Amino acid sequence: MNDILEFQGEHRWLSNFWPASVALDGVLYASVENAYQAAKTHPTKRGPFVSCTAGTAKRLGRCVEVRPDWEQVKLQTMRLLIQQKFAQGTALAEKLAATGECLIVEGNNWGDTYWGVCNGRGQNNLGRLIMEQREALHAARP
């Protein structure tokens, strides 16, 4: 398989906006984006993130009072959500495993160089976490 350089078209399912129920502190969210944005703030302020669209969750996440330890926990939070989205035995896990060993890059044009790559620059942390989960899926196969 060719490298995946953005989460569009046939690879849209890799996006955090893709509908996939994930839990955060015992509450189910409609997508990784919803849960991730909710995780930025105190649990008592997460209600609006439960039932909104992923796009709305992203916008709401820009307006919340961010928890003081967010920079220290955001990568591990995303890792746990990605592990749920692509949990072994799910259809999305099968799709991810089927990507083989190809490079997965969250290419974007909105300037996100922490989670993705924009204009050839970026850490691609989201792509790295997804590939990490793919490795775990491959390792767990008999």
Span 12-62, pLDDT tens digits: 999 999 999 999 999 999 999 999 999 999 999 999 999 999 999 999 999
- Give how many domains the chain has, as a whole number: 1
16 CB contacts (<8 Å, ≥6 apart)? 31, 32, 33, 36, 54, 81, 126
Q: Per-residue pLDDT averaged across 60-83, rounded?
A: 98
Query: Model pTM?
Result: 0.96
CA distances from 135 to 18, 52, 106 (A): 21, 32, 17
Report the alpha-carbon distance of residue 36 to residue 141 in Å, rounded.
28
Residue 65 covered by a domain: yes
pLDDT band, residue 88 (cuts 50/70/90): very high
Residue 2 covered by a domain: no
- Domain of 132, CATH number, reads 1.10.357.40
Span 103-139, pLDDT tens digits: 999 999 999 999 999 999 999 999 999 999 999 999 9
Residue 3 covered by a domain: no
Residue 1 covered by a domain: no
Q: What pLDDT, on the 0 to 100 scale, is given for residue 141? A: 84
Residue 4 covered by a domain: no
